Amino acid sequence: MKPSSPMTDIHDIKPALTVGHDLRWVFWALAVLAFLVLAALAWRRWKKRTRPAATQSAPPPRPPDAEALQLLDALAAEGNLDPKQFYFRLSAVVRRYIERRFNFPAAEMTTEELLPRVDRLPMTPELVQTLKAFCRAADPVKFAGAPAEPGRMARDLAFARDLVHRTSATAEPAAEPADQPGSPGPPPQGAPQLLTTTRTDS
C-alpha cells in the first residue's frame, strides 16, 4: 500500500472581502431630479414671457348713429352695386341702427314682425310711414330680384341718412301731436279760473 501523497490543491478559506455600497444610483437619481427642477423652472419662465399682457378694458362701442353713418358712407363709396346686394346691405344697416338705438332685435325680425314695432317708435308719423314704406319696398328687390327704379337707390340711401340724423340720441325729440280740433286746450296764462260748484239739496 502506497503512502498517501499530500494534497496540494486545497487551500484555506480566505476571509470575506468587504464590499462597499454602490452609490452610483444615488448620483443618477440626483442628476435626474436636478434636471426636472431646471426644466420646470425654464418652463415657468417661458410661460411668463409668452403670457399675453393684461388685457386692457375694451373701448366702449361706437354710438349707433356714428356706426350707421360710417357704414352708409362706405356703401355709397362703392359706387355701382347690384340692386339686390345694395338693398341687402342698406336694409341691414337700417335694421342694426334701429336695434341699437331703440333696444329691440330689429335685425332678427321679419318685415311683418318689424312693422308693428315701428309704429311704436318715438318718431314723427311722417318718418314712421316712410320707414315702413322703405321696408316693404326693399323686400321684393332683396328676395325676388325685382328691379329698382332709376334714382330710387340714391333716394333710399338719403332716407337712411335722414333717419339716423333725425332719431339719434342727440337729435331733438319728435314733436308732440297737435291737439284735435274742438278739444279744449289749457287756459291761457293769467286767465281766471272758473269754479264749478255742485248744488246739494238740503
Residue 127's domain comprises 64-167
Does residue 133 lie within any of the structural domains?
yes
Q: How far, in Å, CA of 17 to CA of 32, rounded?
A: 33
pLDDT tens across 28-43, in order? 788 888 888 888 888 8
Does residue 163 lie within any of the structural domains?
yes
Does residue 54 lie within any of the structural domains?
no
Does residue 153 lie within any of the structural domains?
yes
Does residue 80 lie within any of the structural domains?
yes
Query: At residue 91, does pLDDT exceed 70?
Result: yes
Q: What is the pLDDT of residue 38?
A: 85
pTM: 0.59
Q: What is the mean pLDDT of the chain?
A: 80
Does residue 4 lie within any of the structural domains?
no
Cell of 21: 455600497
Evaluate whether 191 touches 139 at the Cβ level (below 8 Å). no
115 against 7, higher pLDDT: 115
pLDDT tens across 42-90, in order? 888 887 776 655 456 778 889 999 999 999 999 999 988 899 999 999 9
Residue with C-alpha cell 335722414?
162
Domain count, the chain: 1
Does residue 58 lie within any of the structural domains?
no
HSE toward the beta carbon, residue 95, CA cutoff 13 A: 19
Over range 96-103, report the average pLDDT: 96
Phi, psi of 126 (to 5 degrees): -65, -40
pLDDT tens across 142-191, in order? 999 999 888 999 999 999 999 999 999 877 665 544 444 444 444 444 44
Does residue 70 lie within any of the structural domains?
yes
- CA 145 to the chain's CA centroid: 31
Query: At residue 10, does pLDDT exceed 50?
Result: yes
